[in-house]
A = this chain, B = another copy of it.
């Protein structure tokens, strides 16, 4: 009972590492950073994640899983395509408001320095996000709720890449409003009023 509120150590390591990667990047954080925050020794972290690459792999898996859960939750709660896409954008906005970059966007920048296995995970993440968006865009247009010219899959890719880029650039301004301007423009571009 005394430990019921405390997450297992492995999960707490992942929590701290996640924030570190999202703010500083994979190559700019160390086991020492985690050890200080968690107030254990570096060696103890290696017990849970033998190599840094193991930690990174698990980090992406967990992020991907949670992202998909969030998307499924959007699908369940709101059948309206406009509302779904607003909530989709809100996920990115919330991450940025917490002073973070998307985990996969950050790792994408460092792609040339990461194990090959991780490249595959990143691709899967972006593709899965597009795959979630595409049918919503398609059916939304069919029902007359949304309006855009090209293929739904193209529009999905624009949304994913533009939101990643807007986060990236907005962070250099330290201004969520910078992101919001682009996000609103993206939504209005498919017929969703701000």
* Residues in A lying within 8 Å of B, measured CB to CB: 23-25, 27-28, 101, 104-113, 119, 122-123, 126, 149-150, 154-155, 157-158, 160-174, 178, 181-182, 185-186, 188-189
Contacts and interface: CB of A to CB of B under 8 A. Distances in A.
Contacts of A25: 25, 27, 109-110, 113
A149 B109 CA distance: 32
B169 A164 contact: yes
Contact of A165 (B112, B150, B162, B178): B162
A112 B167 CA distance: 14
Contact of A185 (B105, B155, B164, B188): B155
A170 B158 CA distance: 12
The 7 A-B pairs at the shortest CB distance, nearest first, are namely A165-B165, A109-B109, A162-B162, A164-B165, A161-B165, A108-B172, A161-B166
A160 B168 contact: no
Contact of A169 (B101, B160, B178, B186): B160
A165 B181 CA distance: 15
B169 A110 contact: no
5 contacts: A108-B168, A158-B185, A161-B162, A161-B168, A165-B168
Given A25-B27, A106-B109, A123-B173, 8 more contacts: A25-B109, A105-B165, A119-B172, A126-B169, A157-B185, A158-B182, A162-B182, A165-B165
